[in-house]
Structure 1
Amino acid sequence: MRGTGHPLGLHRVVDPVGALPQAAWRLDAGAELFSDEVRIDVERLNLDAASFRQLSEAHGGDGAAVRAEVLEIVESRGKMHNPVTGSGGMLIGRVAEVGPDSPLGLRAGDRVATLVSLTLTPLALTDGLAQWDGRGEQVPAAGYAILFGRSIAAVLPIDLPAETALAVLDVCGAPALTARVVRERGAHAVAVLGAAGKSGSLALAAARANGARRRIGLVRDEDEAAALRATDLATDVAVVDARNPVAVLDAVSSRGGPADVTVVCVDVPGAEGGAILATRDRGTVVFFSMATSFSAAALGAEGLAADVEMLVGTGYTPGHAELALDLFRREPGVRALFARRLDTTPTTQEAVA
């Protein structure tokens, strides 16, 4: 035991000293715990969509090259923090050791998902990611990760496969904040960019559960449109390039828009202008994409004279894990869309312990 750590993890920051762990370039990923920390034996990483897309495109889809870069990032930074997108992901694993002063309520042997970003989680990989082909967001892995006193983790539910629970919990901030915004603003029309994806489908379900009568789902191609239409999550579906602001405006306007609330869940940059144009004056845009340029959003709204409120989806809202898992269990449409991405059957299953 290395003494008492700072609950924010400042004691793990190597460079630059004084930075918060997320903003730091490098963290100390040593296995020996401080008294308020928890060490997790890693089973699987879930790279966030924007980070995985950038890595895959940068290497022309070469999985071996993607794997090598992820290993290099973790080795050089002591965490999985993509230097291009600034994003990371999350992980699942088993609690290996709990410091005597940890406030997280975890016990050795608990199988958990971390609900904080890999960009601030000390991480060491020991298997060279040998079981990962570099072609998917979920990464079988061996190694360990460290949680601080103020970290967040959830014990995995026993009724879902671990990979499915990881995928749901990875985006659990999106439906929770969508639910709150729709409910508090009394929103009747909601548009979701990236509506057939994980966060998008959960955002649609949350919007419906909280009173949104018109739910416009914007997707990138006809395959996604067909999959979304096969559910009852969206009242209207359109195929549109989220990076084309006029096309987004036209698609939403022709389907009963502008929206009271627009939720951005795409994993490509350039969706800011369309989301702003699709939203009514005094409406709200919620950005859940780590590909978002917040300067482009702010300056774009100014240049368009758009009086909209813009919220950054932080990934944390109280009760977010339970809400997302509950939506997944209750909504067959959400399960079907997740199954397309995870290549699983769209039903709940008991996890292997």
Structure 2
Amino acid sequence: MELRDSDPTGLHRVLDDVVRLPQAADRLDTRPELWPDEVRVRVERLNLDAASYRQLAAAHAGPDGVVDGAAVRAAVLAIVAERGKMQNPVTGSGGMLVGTVEEVGPASPLGLAVGDRVATLVSLTLTPLVLEDGLAAWDGRGEQVPCEGYAVLFGRSIAARLPDDLPTGLSLAVMDVCGAPALTHRVVAGYERPTVAVVGGAGKSGSLSLAAARAAGAGHTIGVVPHDAEAALLRGAGLADEVVVADARDPIALRDAVAKAGGPADVTIVCVDVPGCEGGAVLATAERGSVVFFSMATSFAAAALGAEGLAADVTMLVGNGYVPGHADHALALLRESPGVRALFESRLH
């Protein structure tokens, strides 16, 4: 195949017959040879995003609800082999990876060197990826996937060197959701001591978002969780002023729960990985407030049309996973907040 001219977006790796960016492409070129501005990473672990893994697990669970790990593993292998990247065809989402830089193109602008251990801060949905071990070390029953293979980063990709003071799995889990607390901080700081509700507050992105909201000057924080066990975890972490249990898919239940806890919220952060939470988030938010959607399960059409149908004057933002300095910000929150770290570590064991 004739080599195309390199493009910092990775356009030269797209194998589709029409012009598409790598994230939207059906197939990517995974050859190990690099264009001048690329970097190749020897991969040691993937972190599938929560919405993607939940869908795969549900699709391959028996009548008793037990996940068939071998079937999940086979599904991931098939996706990567067919598409040259990890992009769940149902959710459209992927995740991120950890590995060691093994070659750097002479024109790469990323500032990486051979031997650097890095986490990629761009989605697997646009990252050329080859798995070489059949995922033999993964049981298919968790989001973190030990593996052997390689991936390619483009000129406009983002990667962060792994910190020396944190375990690899913990660093990967934090960096997977580091866009959420960074954008939460930015939005909350734009209000005067706002009330902030985080839907999915005991999860990874939710707990970091609660910590970020406090650091940005929130006057009152509300953590919304789906059941009592999660409520106990979040209360123990001490990250929210009020913790409430509500099904985020029930718009009236979510609205009323937030109201009783001190709402409506000036800022609502949606971090749950299930569909159908758009209407409740809008109803839980005060007029002229903001709703930030960080879940890949969100239907943005439902959010926009739902807000219009409710005559809700709210600003809705899509968390795109990137804010300058987001990795360092999230890692600092983890180090400074024992509650955040405890929640993360409980989900890694």
In the superposition, the TM-score normalised over structure 2's length comes to 0.97
Give me the whole-angstrom Cα distance separating, in 1, the residues matched to 2:35 and 2:17. 20
User: Is 1:247 aligned with 2:248?
Assistant: no
Task: State the partner residue of 2:26.
Answer: 25
Give me the whole-angstrom Cα distance separating, in 1, the residues matched to 2:185 and 2:5. 38
Give me the whole-angstrom Cα distance separating, in 2, the residues matched to 1:301 and 1:259. 15
Equivalent residue in structure 2 for 1:81, among 81, 84, 87: 87
Amino acid at match of 1:104: L
CA contact (8 A) 1:16 1:25 kept: no
Equivalent residue in structure 2 for 1:174, among 174, 180, 186: 180
1:195-220 Cα distance to aligned partner (Å, 9 max, x none): 00000000000000011121100011
Unpaired segments ≥5 residues, structure 2: 62-66
Task: State the partner residue of 1:349.
Answer: none
Amino acid at match of 2:93: S
Task: State the partner residue of 2:268.
Answer: 262
CA contact (8 A) 2:100 2:117 kept: yes
Amino acid at match of 2:46: L
- 1:231 is displaced (CA, Å) by 1.9
Q: Secondary structure at the match of 2:208?
A: helix
- 1:186 is displaced (CA, Å) by 2.8
CA contact (8 A) 1:16 1:26 kept: no
Equivalent residue in structure 1 for 2:230, among 213, 219, 224: 224
Q: Secondary structure at the match of 1:15?
A: coil
1:125-146 Cα distance to aligned partner (Å, 9 max, x none): 0000000000000000100000
- 1:234 is displaced (CA, Å) by 0.2
Give me the whole-angstrom Cα distance separating, in 1, the residues matched to 2:184 and 2:90. 27
Task: State the partner residue of 1:347.
Answer: none
Q: Secondary structure at the match of 2:190?
A: helix
1:39-78 residue pairs with structure 2 within 5 A? Answer: 39-60=40-61, 61-78=67-84
- 1:3 is displaced (CA, Å) by 7.7
Give me the whole-angstrom Cα distance separating, in 2, the residues matched to 1:117 and 1:328. 22
CA contact (8 A) 1:16 1:24 kept: no
Shifted more, 2-11 versus 299-308: the winner is 2-11
Give me the whole-angstrom Cα distance separating, in 2, the residues matched to 1:72 and 1:63. 14
CA contact (8 A) 1:3 1:35 kept: no
- Regions of 4+ moved over 6 Å: none
Task: State the partner residue of 2:11.
Answer: 10
User: Is 1:188 aligned with 2:194?
Assistant: yes
In the superposition, the TM-score normalised over structure 1's length comes to 0.96
Amino acid at match of 1:308: V
Unpaired segments ≥5 residues, structure 1: 344-353
Give me the whole-angstrom Cα distance separating, in 2, the residues matched to 1:289 and 1:205. 18
CA contact (8 A) 2:131 2:149 kept: yes
CA contact (8 A) 1:4 1:36 kept: no
Task: State the partner residue of 2:217.
Answer: 211
Give me the whole-angstrom Cα distance separating, in 2, the residues matched to 1:233 and 1:163. 22
Aligned residues between the structures: 342
Kindly, what percent of the aligned residue pairs are identical? 70
1:106-125 residue pairs with structure 2 within 5 A? Answer: 106-125=112-131
User: Is 1:320 aligned with 2:288?
Assistant: no
1:144-202 Cα distance to aligned partner (Å, 9 max, x none): 00000010000000000011000000000000000000002335200001100000000
Q: Secondary structure at the match of 1:26?
A: coil
Q: 1:56 to 1:16 in 2, by over 3 A?
A: farther
1:94-133 residue pairs with structure 2 within 5 A? Answer: 94-133=100-139
Task: State the partner residue of 2:64.
Answer: none
- 1:4 is displaced (CA, Å) by 5.2
CA contact (8 A) 1:245 1:277 kept: yes
Amino acid at match of 1:204: L
The CA RMSD measured in Å over matched residues stands at 0.9
